[in-house]
Structure 1
Amino acid sequence: MGHHHNHHRHGQSTKNLKVAFFLNLSFTVIEFIGGLLTGSMAIMSDALHDLGDSISIGLSWYFQNLSEKKRDNTFSYGYKRFSLLGAIINAVVLLVGSVIIISKAAPAIMNPSQVDEKGMLYIAIFGVVVNGVAVLRLRKGSSINERVISLHLLEDVLGWVAVLIGSLLIMYFDWYFIDPLLSVLIALFIIYNVFVNIKKSFQIILQATPKEIDIEKVHKKLRTIPEVIEIHDCHIWSMDGEYHVFSAHLVLDKSYDLRLQAAIKKRAKYLLHELGIEHSTLEFELKDEHCDGC
């Protein structure tokens, strides 16, 4: 019954990401066309932002499926780390696009050209509605992928609110510099997020200890098992930022038969799972035993 429920939840999660992907991609195409027709750099800049989100959602949708693929002889830990590849591809696309937009928009702040402010206003209203629908769809989802993407789309809604306000300022005050200024600010916001995400990706690739895992807390938790007197050769890393892996040597107070060792191991794995560690490899030692890896 639980398995059926998880399978249904996974199917709904994939469906939500699929709908959000096609919604976002279709609107990105409309944005690029709208940006060209209105002459608005802010819309072109936000179109780039939405293209990045389309890539993110598409890759999340793909990896939501791929992550279910069982591990094999080629990838013994499974396919979860492929999502990092997706994050790096996305970062490169956004970084190159943002630099191009800033190089075009920055000089235009001092010498702005006219834009179709009414066209900007209509596209901005459309942008708020489309991204708002996608946010509501994904916020109902249960997967981490859905929650992360919904935050990206919420940023898009706020971006479109800024474009909407910008179009009104141009309409009523003829502040045409607002358009390239908004464009530069959106591009800088994209670059900031790119570097935050790239930093996270490289920390995972370099097998840094996940920030949400406290090693001292792990040690204390494992020492609550009466038979465990010491923990060493302890390693914690993450496959994709969500699926954490742990290995350690547990020193036992005395020798136990295999049946009791299995019970101790089961207890240890349960405690580790409570701390957010999905996969653990444990080796038992006696207190006088020499440890080669220490």
Structure 2
Amino acid sequence: MGNKALSLIGVPTDIGAGHRGASMGPEALRVANLASKLERRGFEVIDHGNLQGPVNPWQPPQDGYRHLPQVVAWNEAVHTAVYTELAAGRVPVMLGGDHCLAIGSISAVARHCREQGKKLRVLWLDAHADFNTADVTPSGNIHGMPVACLCGNGPQALVEVGGHVPATTPDVFRQIGIRSVDEGEKSLVREAQVSIFDMRRIDEVGMKRTMEEALADVDENTHLHVSFDVDFLDPTIAPGVGTTVRGGPNYREAQLCMEMIADTGRVSSLDIVELNPAFDKRNQTARLAVDLVESLFGKSTLIR
């Protein structure tokens, strides 16, 4: 990807989550020296500080969604910020915040790809498929719905973020590390034919083959967006998330995943989400996330 400038965009909100605390994620990543470590990799890093948005009212769901107006406001702010950086030729790195914010970032990336005639591939690194709708989830937490919303299945105000409906289609996603899918959600992802490489698949064929399949047909005209939910990782190494699910990738599997993505040279935008310092131990999850993001941008053990 060359030595492009990386733009850090902090989005300090837990507006779509079921636990408080992801709003502190951007600061934890800064404390773990994300900017200076990426500068050491040879990148120019611009930290744009934090976006502003409505406070979390911490209310129960209304009509099946929690905090819908506030989620829309935050995602519109994210869309504008991410799109602005892409248009300027920089690589936006969104520091979340919860995963509902991917509606704003990925809708911006998809818009950029349409304008540039590029093919979009989204690597969704997560324990969850995030393809819920209000009909199948009682919680109403929108951080479980971003992929569905991006594919046109959600409340109108969110589906229309970025102005193009649907923002993208299920075929651009490759979901890796999935191990928690709600019952009703299973039929939704099957109908939409989302490509899911769940933990059983990784156990059976290994991370190497999984990533080869997920990255197949990525070429020089592909914009590769990585949406990295920190709960992708096994909670024994990454306790600092609100929704831990046992049995995720271990440290080496996660490193291999990131290194193989880096090998494509096509990473052009990134979300880091769901880091929750309230559940962390001495910022270890933030430090691990930064370590993996370094690998995503080219750090490896040997000179290859």
TM over 0.5: no
Whose radius of gyration is greater, 1 or 2? 1
Greater RCO (Cα-Cα under 8 Å, separation 6 or more): 2
TM-score computed with the length of structure 2 as normaliser:
0.30
TM-score w.r.t. structure 1 length? Answer: 0.30
